[in-house]
Amino acid sequence: MIWGSVWGALRRNPLTLFGGCVVVFLFAVAVSATLLPIPDPYAIDADAVLEVPSFAHPFGTDELGRDVLSRVVYGARISLWVGFVSVGIAIVIGTLLGSIGGYYGGWVDGLIMRFVDVMLCFPTFFLILAVIAFLEPNIGTIMAIIGLTGWMGVCRLVRAEFLSLKERDFVQSARALGVGNLRIIARHILPNSLTPVMVAAILGVAGAILTESALSFLGIGVQPPTPSWGNILTSGKDNIQIAWWLSLFPGLAILLTVLSYNLLGEGLRDALDPRLRGMR
List Cα–Cα distances, 103 to 96, 98, 112, in angstroms: 11, 8, 12
Site for another protein in 65-94 (CB under 8 A): 65
Applying CB under 8 A, does 225 fall inside the site for another protein? Answer: yes
| 185 or 265: CB nearest another protein | 265
In this chain, which of 24, 56, 92, 117 binds another protein, going by CB under 8 A? 117
Applying CB under 8 A, does 279 fall inside the site for another protein? Answer: yes
Sign of dihedral through CA atoms 227, 230, 232, 235?
negative
Applying CB under 8 A, does 223 fall inside the site for another protein? Answer: yes
Is residue 24 helix, strand or coil? helix
DSSP state of 67: B
What's the rounded Cα separation, in Å, for the pair 153 and 204? 10
Of 250, 239, 244, 217, the C-alpha closest to 78 is 250
Sign of dihedral through CA atoms 14, 19, 23, 25?
positive
| 50 or 198: CB nearest another protein | 50
In this chain, which of 7, 25, 122, 170 binds another protein, going by CB under 8 A? 122
Cβ proximity of 125 and 135 under 8 Å: no
From 44-52, 75-83, 89-97, 164-172, span contacting another protein (CB under 8 A): 44-52
Applying CB under 8 A, does 22 fall inside the site for another protein? Answer: no
What's the rounded Cα separation, in Å, for the pair 6 and 20? 10
Find the shortest distance in angstroms from Cβ 169 to another protein.
27
| 179 or 259: CB nearest another protein | 259
Cβ proximity of 221 and 213 under 8 Å: yes
DSSP state of 61: B
From 101-109, 113-121, 163-171, 182-190, span contacting another protein (CB under 8 A): 113-121
Applying CB under 8 A, does 64 fall inside the site for another protein? Answer: yes
Find the shortest distance in angstroms from Cβ 115 to another protein.
7
Backbone angles phi, psi at 61, to 5 degrees: -125, 165
Report the interface residues with another protein, using CB under 8 A: 42-44, 46, 49-50, 63-65, 114-115, 117-127, 129-131, 133-138, 206, 210, 213-214, 217-220, 223-225, 230, 233, 235, 237-242, 247, 251, 254-259, 262-263, 277-280
